[in-house]
Amino acid sequence: MTIAARALTVAPTRVVRERRRPWFLVVPALTLVVVFFVVPYANLLVMSFFMPGKAEPYDAIPTFGNYTSALGDSFQWWILWRTLKLGFLTTLFTLILGYPLAYNLAHAGSKVKGMLMVLLLSPLLVGVVIRSFGWMVLLADNGLINSLVKHWGLAPHGLKLMYNEFGVLVGTVHIYLPFMVLSLSGALENIPPDLELAARSLGASSTKAFWRIVFPLSLPGVFAGCLLVFVLAVSSYVIPVLLGGFKVITTPLLVVQTAVDVHNWPGAAAQAVILFAASLACIGLYFKLMNRAMRGLSA
């Protein structure tokens, strides 16, 4: 009764306040988004429905040919599958590696937390290219790891650590880990520590308290982190190029090859749109699963 009454009295003032909100303040940001995001994407979408041109990027002849040839090509399907698979595996491993890290970060004292934060974020200060080169030094056939392995006689011919999916995965997991940890630690910090203690006082072991209380309440962070890492991993270009050495072709690589090497801009545009649609489908499915998981746990 009282809540309903309060809602009634509050509602009109809120409407008034919203009407007075200075909407024109969003214009600069909106302009930026439209000019640098919406227009290029729209251009890409339009381009994908025209014939490839000889002199121009495309001729003004509308066609579905770019899509029929891309979708009819089993190689491209396979590449797309690998791209999504690498994205999924990157997400999974960053989650598994990042969760304990985030948990400790969220529970650390303020001094330690500052230091851990610097450690976590410092790799972001170095570019992706440099960091990938760093991994190449470690993973190459005659790199640090292999020379140790050979020295100890563990594998006389060395291990194949690079120029394969494993190498790419190592790179993406390392480079996108901070994004996962930041999302997770934000969510974990918002969980009052008393909740865990309350569970313990009611007879839950620390393991049970974690799975019944802490983990479910951290799901929004898991959700956000996975989404972020998946999107970044699926669209990454530099890491597969350097650590995959053009032996691990993913859709972004294929798009660039088609556009730059083959000079088939509309074909590349169609491939990009297909990747976009596929990612969107994955994310949609993920949203659905996550919503179900969170409905079971919250409301």
**What amino acid is encoded at 218 in this protein?**
S
* CA–CA separation, 42 and 38 (whole Å): 6
Q: From the CB of 81, what's the least distance to another protein, in Å?
A: 36
Among 89, 116, 117, 204, binds another protein (CB under 8 A): 204
Among 197, 262, 280, 281, binds another protein (CB under 8 A): 197
Nearer residue to another protein within complex by CB, 91 or 218: 218
Binding mask 157-196 for another protein (x = CB under 8 A): -----------------------------------x-xx-
What is the number of other CB atoms lying within 10 angstroms of the CB of residue 40?
A: 10
Nearer residue to another protein within complex by CB, 144 or 195: 195
What is the number of other CB atoms lying within 10 angstroms of the CB of residue 266?
A: 25
Q: H or E element: which one contains 62?
A: strand 58-62
Stretch that binds another protein, among 124-132, 138-146, 200-208, 275-283 (CB under 8 A): 200-208
* Residue 202 makes contact with another protein by CB under 8 A: yes
Binding mask 266-285 for another protein (x = CB under 8 A): --------------------
Among 31, 43, 147, 205, binds another protein (CB under 8 A): 205
Nearer residue to another protein within complex by CB, 291 or 298: 298
* CA–CA separation, 19 and 257 (whole Å): 50
Q: From the CB of 15, what's the least distance to another protein, in Å?
A: 24
For the chain, the straight-line distance linking the first and the last C-alpha, in angstroms and rounded, comes to 22
* CA–CA separation, 151 and 156 (whole Å): 8
Q: H or E element: which one contains 120?
A: helix 110-125
* CA–CA separation, 184 and 194 (whole Å): 19
What is the number of other CB atoms lying within 10 angstroms of the CB of residue 249?
A: 18
User: Applying CB under 8 A, which residues contact another protein?
Assistant: 192, 194-195, 197-206, 208, 212-213, 216-217, 297-299
